[in-house]
Amino acid sequence: MKLYKKEGNIIQILSFPNETVEKGDYLLIEDADAGKALIAQVIDVQFASIPGILEELLRSLPDGGELIQGEDFDPLEIAPHITYIQDASLLICKIRATVENESLSPSSSWLPSRSQSTIKKLPIPTLIKLAKIDGKLPIILGGTKDSSLLTIDATSLDGRLNIITGKKETGKSHLSKLLMLNLIGYKATVVVFDLNGEYISLGMTTDGKRNAYHDKIHVLTPSENFKVALKQLNLHVLLEILIHALHLPGTSAREFRRIWQSLKERDMLNMHELGETIRNWHCNQHVRDALFSRYYALVNSCFFTDNIAEAVFLEECLFKAKEQGGAIIINLRNTSPIDRQIVVEYLLAKFVELLTGCRLKAIFLFAEEAHLYLRETYWDDIVTRMRHFGIFTTFITNQPDTVRENIYRQADNIFLFNFTNEHDLEVVSRAARVDAETVKSIARDLPPHYCLGLGRVVKDFPMVIKVKALDVKTMGETRLFFKDMN
């Protein structure tokens, strides 16, 4: 390999056919005289612009498009040299860091010698060692391009905002399950908003037996085994639900506050009494109608109960998870969009309440397709305010444009699976810790179950990862009509 050109932090390297380099590989450009080396990542492989190549190709097809037949007597065996030159490739590389005295710096301000530099492939394990990517709390994500294991540090997810995105059936949920289970292994509290009921069997192996996580997975299905009693709620939580999920106007909300105070003073906070009080409350008829319509929405959700025995104490699950690590899976599979919002509003308000009171340490929240249940104003809230309370979110989506641009800008880690759509890649490339060229070039060619890890987890050295298989019942498979036909 030979150094050809450098423009900004893009370096172009001439590579010959006997040197097998692919997109995503890392190269070490060593300048022995300078005592430094550049670490560059191949983001694109192009044909080298060889003079005369067009003539060479045209010459081989002069006979109406058919290859002209003939014999070459080439006593000096020049033909292999011609092929060697013709097949030379140009590696477009992004400079990632400078190595000097075995320490890394993100600088690319120096220029290695074009004639004297030696260029070789940098094995991923060496890079991992240099960048200190694996830490004290290792999570094995899978394999790298050169078949070595890629281990990240669980602390790189702590306090961070993560995004897992990619087109359908590329393995996003699989990775989120892998991260989640590893976090549980380190006694973290994990909450999953499970839109499709994919996480509910994580406590089982693929052959249906209980696995090591079985006792740590708590599945809560709203209106089935997850109900709340009004007595368990704070007024502000219910108001959040009424205003944001059920769009209760301000005047009616003020009236509801008074109704709530009245019921609380009489120690009659239950759904039946709430209905009765609204019925008999002296207020404007429109306000009463507004309150009644929301009341029936609450009743119809079946999420609220007057039977305290029926009400699962979310806090209990959370405290159990706090002690020994665990995941609370909120199964939103058969929940209507409005009910989903009610549940999520309740949960987020509850988490903030518990975290601000220091009753919980922190929560790793995994949110699948969050745009389907997260109200507009919560996006910023989750990534800024709630992060300070200790809610560390991982968004999982196959529609990257549903996640707002400012979320990408603040994302600490991005796990990017294959996207072929230019628009999708454009959206993801807005993330602050990513350069657009890398995202667009590498993500487009990722095979299923391979992802591009970006951000703190890989110490800003983007890496292609083959996500390892899990021995858990993942339930993420799409139900097919023709599955049993063959």
Partner 1 sequence: MKIGETATGTLIAVRGANVWKQNKNYRYIRLGPFIFHITEENKKEVYNALQRAYFNSPHEQNQSSPNLLQMPTRIANLLERWLQTMLTKTINNGLILFDGSLTSGTADTPTPLMKEILETARKRRNIVLAFSKMTTLRFNGHLITDILLEHKPPYLLETAGLKTKPPIVLLGDVYVARLTKGNYAFRLDIDKQVAPKQKIGAVEKLLGNDLLSQSYPETLRLAHILCTFTANEVIAMQHFTAQAYKLKIINRPDMHKLLFGPFGKGDANA
Q: Which is nearer to partner 1, 35 or 52 (CB)?
A: 52
Residue 418: both structure tokens together:
């294959």
Q: Least CB distance from residue 42 to partner 1, whole Å? A: 23
CB of 13 vs partner 1, minimal distance in Å: 18
Among 5, 22, 47, 52, binds partner 1 (CB under 8 A): 52
Nearer to partner 1, 76 or 480 (CB): 76
Strand order in the sheet with 149-153: 149-153, 138-143, 463-467, 450-455, 413-416, 162-165, 391-397, 363-368, 189-194, 326-331, 217-220
Q: How far apart are CA 352 and CA 335, in angstroms?
A: 23
CB of 458 to partner 1, least distance (A): 39
Q: Which is nearer to partner 1, 85 or 475 (CB)?
A: 85
Token representation of residue 41:
């990542």
212 — phi, psi (to 5°)? -65, -20
Q: Report in angstroms how near the CB of residue 115 gets to partner 1 at its nearest.
A: 14
- Residue 48 CB, shortest distance to partner 1, in Å, is 10
CA pair distance 173, 186, nearest whole angstrom: 20
Q: Quickly count: other Cβ atoms within 10 Å of residue 486's Cβ.
A: 4
Q: Nearer Cβ to partner 1, position 73 or 482?
A: 73
- For the bound state, the minimum distance from the C-beta of residue 61 to partner 1, rounded and expressed in Å, comes to 11
CA dist list (Å): 366 to 11, 247, 328, 334, 463: 38, 26, 10, 18, 22
Considering only residues 55 to 114 of the shown chain, the ones binding partner 1 according to CB under 8 A are: 55-56, 59, 62-63, 68-76, 78, 81-82, 84-86
Query: Nearer Cβ to partner 1, position 14 or 338?
Result: 14
Query: φ and ψ at 60, to 5 degrees?
Result: -80, -5
Angstrom distance (rounded) from CA 380 to CA 362: 18
Beta-strand relationship, 463-467 and 138-143: antiparallel
CB 373 within 8 A of CB 341: yes
Task: Report the nearest approach of partner 1 to the CB of residue 156 (Å).
Answer: 47
Stretch that binds partner 1, among 49-57, 270-278, 301-309, 450-458 (CB under 8 A): 49-57
Q: How far is the CB of 88 from partner 1 (least distance, A)?
A: 9
Q: Nearer to partner 1 by C-beta: 55 or 323? A: 55
Dihedral sign of CA atoms 388, 391, 394, 399 in order: negative
Question: Which CB atom, from 58 or from 485, has the smaller least distance to partner 1?
Answer: 58
The distance of Cα 130 from the centroid of its chain, to the nearest Å, equals 25
Q: Tell me whether residue 69 or residue 486 sits nearer to partner 1 (CB atom).
A: 69
Closest approach of Cβ 18 to partner 1, in Å?
13
CB nearer partner 1, residue 52 or residue 249: 52
The DSSP result for 333-399, as a single string, is TT--HHHHHHHHHHHHHHHHHHHHTTSS--EEEEEETGGGT--HHHHHIIIIIHHHHTEEEEEEES-
Site track for partner 1 across 4-43, x = CB under 8 A: ----------------------------------------
Among 33, 35, 46, 53, binds partner 1 (CB under 8 A): 53
List residues binding partner 1 (CB under 8 A). 50-53, 55-56, 59, 62-63, 68-76, 78, 81-82, 84-86
